[in-house]
C-alpha cells in the first residue's frame, strides 16, 4: 500500500474513526468491555462459537434443539452487546440487561430443555408454554430492534397483528383469524415459525461461514487482498476505485456484509480515491456499490448460496453455476463504470513507485489460498455438506495462521498478516480466540433477525398471506389495458416484476443479507412463479436476492452508504445517490434472469454462454456509459438514449437483439469519435 494511504489529515482520521464506530455498532454492538466483564462476556461469545464448531465437527443436535441453543446464545449476546438506545452509555453492562439476557436465553432454551414433553403434548400447549412463547417473541423483536433498527421488527409486528386481525381486513387479504394460543403454538412450538428454516440455516451454514470469515480476517487476509488489488489496478486510470471494486468482490463473497466490506476496504480506498481526484461523495458511492455487489459473487455469496440451496432443495453447485455469469458480468460492468468516471473527470492512477509489486505481493500471501482451496475441495470434489466443508476450511485457516506464525518465529519468514509483534504463541492463540469472539458477536444480530424472519414465514404459512400477496401482484399486472398487451405481449410480466422489485427494495432496507433473502423468498418470489410458471425457480429467487442486496445501497436507509460517507466525510444521502447511479446496471440484470434464463447457464451450450458473456458485458458497459453520460467524450441526450437502448438489446440474449445493440453502440462510438476529432459526421 502507498505509505500515505491514510495520511489525509485529521478530518480523514476523524471520518474513519466515525465510520469504524458506525460499523462496529451495526455489526458487533456498541458496547465495549474491559477487565473481568470482558472475560465474562467474551467467554459466553467464545462458548457459542465453540458449540457451533463442535456440532459442525461431530454432527448437529436434533433440528429444534440445535436451533434453540443457537437462539439462546444469540438473544443473550444481543442484550449484552447492544444497548437499548444510543444515548445509553457504551461502557459497562447494566443489571437490567443482564437480567434480560438471561431471561431471553431461557425462553429459547426452554424449547431445548422440555423438548420431549413438548413433543408429547404437540397441539395442546400449556399456559406456561404460551407465556414463555409470548416472551420469546417479544425478546426476539426487541433484540432485532437493538441490532438492526426499527424496520424489521415493525414489519414482523405487522405480520403478527395480521394473524389476529384477519376477519376485519379487506376480502382479498382476509382470513378467519386465530387465537393467541393458536398463533403462539404455531410460531413457537413447531418448525414452521421461529425454529423453522431461517433459524436452521443461521445455526448451521451461516454461522460456520461467518466464523470462517472472522478467522480469515484475523490472519490478515483483508489487507492482503487490498494490496493485491492495488498492485493490479492502482496505477491505471482511477486506480483506487478499480482496486476498491476488485478487493470488495474478494471480501464480499466471504464476509456477507456490505457494511463490514466498506469498513475493511473503504478505510484504504476512499482516501486514495479522493487523493487522485474523485469527489468525496463519488468515492463513497463507488465503495458502497462495490461492497454491496461483492455479496453477489460466488462461491460463497455471503452464505446466501447455501441458504438458497437449502430453500430450493437443490445442490449447492447448481446455485453457484446459475449465479456465476451474472456476478462476473456485473463486476466487470462496475469496473467499466468507474473507468468511465475516471475518463470523464480526467482522473489518473497512483504513481507506480508507490504501489506494491504484483508478484511479490501475490506470493507473500499465497498461503491464503489454502483455506479457500480446502473449502472448494470439500464442496466440489469430496462433496461434503456445506457445514462440514466450512468446518474443514476453518481448521485450515486456523492451522495456517499457527504455522505461518511459527515459521516467522523460527526462521524470520515474513508472511502477509503475520507481523513480528504478533507471532508469539500467546499472541497467535489470542488472535484465533478473537476470531471466535468476533464471529459470535457478528452472529448475535443474525440469529435475532433470522428468528424474526422465521416469525414472518410462520405467519405466512398459518394464514396463506403469501399466496394472497402473489395474487394481488398478478391481478395488478393483469389489469393492464388490452391494447397495451397487444403492442407489448410481456407488459404484464414486466409489471409484475417491477412490483416485485419495489417490494423487495422496501422490505430489504436495513435488513441483513440472510434475513433479506429469506423474507424475499417467502413473500415476493412466489409472485414471479405464479405469473410465469415456466420460469426456472432459481431465476425467481436470484431476482429477489439481487434486489434485496441492492436495498442495502438504496437511499434513504442504505447503511453501507452511511459507513462510506463517514470515511469520506460527506453527506450520506449524496453518497447513497452516487451508489444508486452506479447500481443501475445491476437493476437491469435480474430482469434478464426471467426473460432469458440462458444467462443463468440453464439449457445452454458453452459457446452460447461465451457469447452471452461477451454481449452482456458490452451491454452493461453501454448502460454505464448512458448513466455516466460519457463514452469517449460527453454524451448528448440522444446518444444517452441510444446507449440505453443498445444496453437493453445486448443484455437480452438473442442474435437479432445482439446485432442491433452492437450496431447502435458502434453508431454512438462513431458519432463521438468524429466529434472528438473535430470532424463533421458524413452521414448527418
Owner of C-alpha cell 416484476: 497
Spatial separation of the C-alpha atoms in residues 77 and 101, rounded to whole Å = 7
Our count of domains for the chain comes to 1
Instruction: Classify residue 328 by burial, with Cβ atoms within 10 Å: 0-12, 13-18, 19+.
Output: middle
- Please give the C-alpha separations between residue 604 and each of 600, 610, 618, in angstroms, as whole numbers: 9, 10, 20
- Do 481 and 468 touch, CB atoms closer than 8 A? no
- Please give the C-alpha separations between residue 142 and each of 108, 151, 264, 445, in angstroms, as whole numbers: 14, 12, 29, 11
* Alpha-carbon torsion (676, 679, 682, 684), positive or negative: positive
Give the pLDDT confidence score for residue 67 in this predicted structure.
Answer: 96
**Tens of pLDDT along 281-304?**
999 999 988 888 877 888 777 667
Give the pLDDT confidence score for residue 262 in this predicted structure.
Answer: 82
**Tens of pLDDT along 435-452?**
899 889 989 988 999 999
- Higher per-residue confidence, 518 vs 305: 518
Q: Average pLDDT of 480-488?
A: 66
Spatial separation of the C-alpha atoms in residues 650 and 644, rounded to whole Å = 10
Give the pLDDT confidence score for residue 110 in this predicted structure.
Answer: 96
Q: Is 227 helix (H, G, I), strand (E, B) or coil?
A: helix
Q: Average pLDDT of 673-683?
A: 69
Per the prediction, the chain carries an average pLDDT of 83
Residue 659's domain spans which residues?
604-684
pLDDT above 70 for 4:
no
411 in a structural domain: no
**Tens of pLDDT along 320-368?**
889 889 988 888 889 988 899 898 888 888 888 888 888 888 888 888 8
Range name among 245-259, 380-394, 410-424 with the lowest pLDDT average = 410-424
Give the pLDDT confidence score for residue 487 in this predicted structure.
Answer: 65
393 in a structural domain: no
Count of Cβ atoms closer than 10 Å to residue 609 Cβ: 16
Q: What are phi and psi of 630, to 5 degrees?
A: -160, 130
- Higher per-residue confidence, 219 vs 150: 150
Q: Average pLDDT of 408-433?
A: 57
pLDDT above 90 for 677:
no
651 in a structural domain: yes
Spatial separation of the C-alpha atoms in residues 168 and 334, rounded to whole Å = 48
Q: In which band, very low, low, confident or very high, does the pLDDT at 413 lie, cut at 50, 70 and 90?
A: very low
pLDDT above 70 for 680:
no
Residues 6+ apart with CB under 8 A from 608: 598, 653
**Tens of pLDDT along 506-518?**
777 767 777 778 8
Give the pLDDT confidence score for residue 380 in this predicted structure.
Answer: 80
Q: What are phi and psi of 524, to 5 degrees?
A: -105, -35
Range name among 409-413, 588-592, 666-670 with the lowest pLDDT average = 409-413
* Alpha-carbon torsion (235, 239, 240, 245), positive or negative: negative
189 in a structural domain: no
- Higher per-residue confidence, 564 vs 558: 564
Range name among 72-81, 154-163, 340-349 with the lowest pLDDT average = 340-349
648 in a structural domain: yes
**Tens of pLDDT along 593-611?**
888 888 898 888 888 888 9
DSSP calls for 319-333: HHHHHHHHHHHHHHH
Assigned C-alpha cell, 101:
439476557
Give the pLDDT confidence score for residue 420 in this predicted structure.
Answer: 43
Residues 6+ apart with CB under 8 A from 639: 631, 668, 671, 672
- pTM to 2 decimal places: 0.83
In the DSSP assignment, the letter for residue 526 is H
pLDDT above 50 for 416:
no
Q: Average pLDDT of 374-394?
A: 86
Q: Is 418 helix (H, G, I), strand (E, B) or coil?
A: strand
Half-sphere exposure for 172 (CA within 13 Å, toward CB) = 9
Assigned C-alpha cell, 248:
470488495
Instruction: Find, among 303, 71, 48, the residue nearest to 194 by Cα.
Output: 71
Helix (H) or strand (E) holding 357: none
Helix (H) or strand (E) holding 339: helix 316-345
645 in a structural domain: yes
- Do 305 and 321 touch, CB atoms closer than 8 A? no
Alpha-carbon Rg for the chain, nearest whole angstrom, is 26
Give the pLDDT confidence score for residue 17 in this predicted structure.
Answer: 60
Give the pLDDT confidence score for residue 180 in this predicted structure.
Answer: 94
- Please give the C-alpha separations between residue 275 and each of 73, 280, 402, in angstroms, as whole numbers: 45, 10, 38
464 in a structural domain: no
677 in a structural domain: yes
Assigned C-alpha cell, 594:
426471467
- Do 333 and 623 touch, CB atoms closer than 8 A? yes
Q: Average pLDDT of 242-259?
A: 78
- Higher per-residue confidence, 584 vs 14: 584
Q: Average pLDDT of 447-466?
A: 90
**Tens of pLDDT along 181-214?**
999 999 999 998 999 988 998 898 888 888 888 8
Owner of C-alpha cell 413438548: 118
Amino acid at each position: 500500500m502507498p505509505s500515505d494511504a491514510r495520511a489525509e489529515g485529521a478530518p480523514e482520521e476523524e471520518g474513519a474513526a466515525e465510520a469504524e464506530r458506525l460499523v462496529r455498532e451495526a455489526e458487533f454492538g456498541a458496547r465495549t468491555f474491559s477487565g473481568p466483564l470482558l472475560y465474562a462476556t467474551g467467554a459466553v461469545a467464545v462458548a457459542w462459537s465453540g458449540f457451533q464448531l463442535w456440532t459442525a465437527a461431530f454432527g448437529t443436535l436434533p433440528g429444534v434443539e440445535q436451533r434453540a441453543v443457537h437462539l439462546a446464545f444469540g438473544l443473550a449476546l444481543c442484550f449484552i452487546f447492544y444497548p437499548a438506545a444510543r444515548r445509553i452509555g457504551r461502557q459497562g453492562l447494566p443489571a437490567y440487561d443482564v437480567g434480560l439476557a438471561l431471561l431471553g436465553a431461557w425462553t429459547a432454551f426452554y424449547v431445548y430443555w422440555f423438548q420431549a414433553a413438548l413433543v408429547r403434548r404437540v397441539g395442546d400447549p400449556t399456559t406456561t408454554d404460551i407465556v414463555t412463547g409470548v416472551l420469546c417473541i417479544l425478546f426476539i423483536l426487541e433484540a432485532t430492534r437493538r441490532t438492526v433498527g426499527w424496520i424489521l421488527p415493525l414489519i414482523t409486528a405487522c405480520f403478527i397483528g395480521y394473524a389476529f386481525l384477519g376477519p376485519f381486513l379487506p376480502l382479498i387479504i382476509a382470513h378467519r383469524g386465530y387465537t393467541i394460543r393458536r398463533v403462539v403454538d404455531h410460531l413457537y412450538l413447531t418448525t414452521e415459525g421461529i425454529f423453522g428454516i431461517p433459524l436452521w440455516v443461521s445455526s448451521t451454514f451461516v454461522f460456520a461461514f461467518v466464523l470462517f470469515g472472522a478467522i480469515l480476517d484475523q490472519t490478515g487476509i483483508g489487507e492482503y487482498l487490498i494490496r493485491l488489488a492495488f498492485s493490479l489496478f492502482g496505477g491505471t486510470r482511477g486506480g483506487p476505485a478499480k482496486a476498491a471494486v476488485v478487493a470488495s468482490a474478494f471480501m464480499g463473497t466471504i464476509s456477507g456484509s456490505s457494511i463490514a466490506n466498506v469498513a475493511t476496504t473503504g478505510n484504504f480506498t476512499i482516501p486514495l480515491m479522493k487523493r487522485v481526484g474523485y469527489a468525496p461523495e463519488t468515492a463513497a458511492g463507488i465503495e458502497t456499490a462495490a461492497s454491496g455487489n461483492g455479496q453477489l459473487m460466488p462461491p460463497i455469496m455471503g452464505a446466501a448460496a447455501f441458504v438458497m440451496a437449502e430453500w430450493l432443495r437443490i445442490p449447492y453447485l447448481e446455485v453457484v453455476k446459475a449465479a456465476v455469469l451474472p456476478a462476473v458480468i456485473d463486476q466487470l460492468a462496475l469496473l467499466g463504470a468507474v473507468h468511465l468516471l475516471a475518463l470523464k473527470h480526467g482522473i489518473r492512477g497512483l504513481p507506480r513507485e508507490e504501489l506494491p509489486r504484483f508478484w511479490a505481493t501475490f506470493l507473500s500471501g499465497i498461503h491464503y489460498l489454502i483455506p479457500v482451496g480446502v473449502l472448494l475441495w470439500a464442496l466440489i470434489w469430496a462433496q461434503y455438506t456445506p457445514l462440514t466443508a466450512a468446518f474443514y476450511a476453518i481448521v485450515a485457516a486456523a492451522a495456517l495462521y499457527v504455522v505461518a506464525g511459527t515459521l516467522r518465529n523460527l526462521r524470520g519468514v515474513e508472511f502477509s498478516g503475520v507481523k513480528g509483534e504478533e507471532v508469539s504463541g500467546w499472541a497467535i492463540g489470542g488472535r484465533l480466540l478473537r476470531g471466535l469472539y468476533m464471529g459470535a458477536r457478528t452472529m448475535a444480530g443474525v440469529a435475532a433477525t433470522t428468528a424474526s424472519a422465521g416469525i414472518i414465514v410462520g405467519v405466512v404459512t398459518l394464514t396463506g398471506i403469501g399466496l394472497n400477496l402473489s395474487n394481488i401482484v398478478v391481478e395488478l399486472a393483469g389489469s393492464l389495458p388490452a391494447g397495451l398487451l397487444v403492442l407489448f405481449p410481456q407488459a404484464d410480466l414486466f409489471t409484475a416484476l417491477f412490483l416485485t422489485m419495489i417490494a423487495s427494495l422496501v422490505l430489504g432496507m436495513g435488513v441483513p443479507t440472510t434475513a433479506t433473502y429469506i423474507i424475499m423468498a417467502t413473500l415476493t418470489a412466489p409472485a414471479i412463479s405464479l405469473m410465469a410458471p415456466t420460469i426456472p425457480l432459481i431465476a425467481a429467487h436470484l431476482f429477489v436476492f439481487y434486489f434485496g442486496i441492492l436495498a442495502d445501497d438504496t437511499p434513504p436507509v442504505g447503511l453501507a452508504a452511511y459507513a462510506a460517507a463517514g470515511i469520506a466525510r460527506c453527506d450520506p444521502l449524496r453518497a447513497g445517490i452516487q451508489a444508486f447511479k452506479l447500481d443501475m446496471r445491476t437493476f437491469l440484470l435480474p430482469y434478464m434472469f426471467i426473460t432469458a434464463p440462458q444467462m443463468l447457464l440453464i439449457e445452454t451450450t458453452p459457446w452460447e454462454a461465451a457469447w452471452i458473456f461477451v454481449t452482456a458485458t458490452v451491454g452493461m458497459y453501454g448502460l454505464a456509459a448512458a448513466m455516466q453520460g460519457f463514452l469517449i467524450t460527453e454524451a448528448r441526450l440522444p446518444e444517452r438514449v441510444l446507449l440505453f437502448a443498445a444496453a437493453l438489446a445486448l443484455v437480452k440474449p438473442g442474435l437479432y437483439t445482439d446485432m442491433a445493440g452492437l450496431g447502435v453502440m458502434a453508431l454512438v462510438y462513431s458519432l463521438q469519435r468524429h466529434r472528438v476529432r473535430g470532424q463533421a459526421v458524413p452521414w448527418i
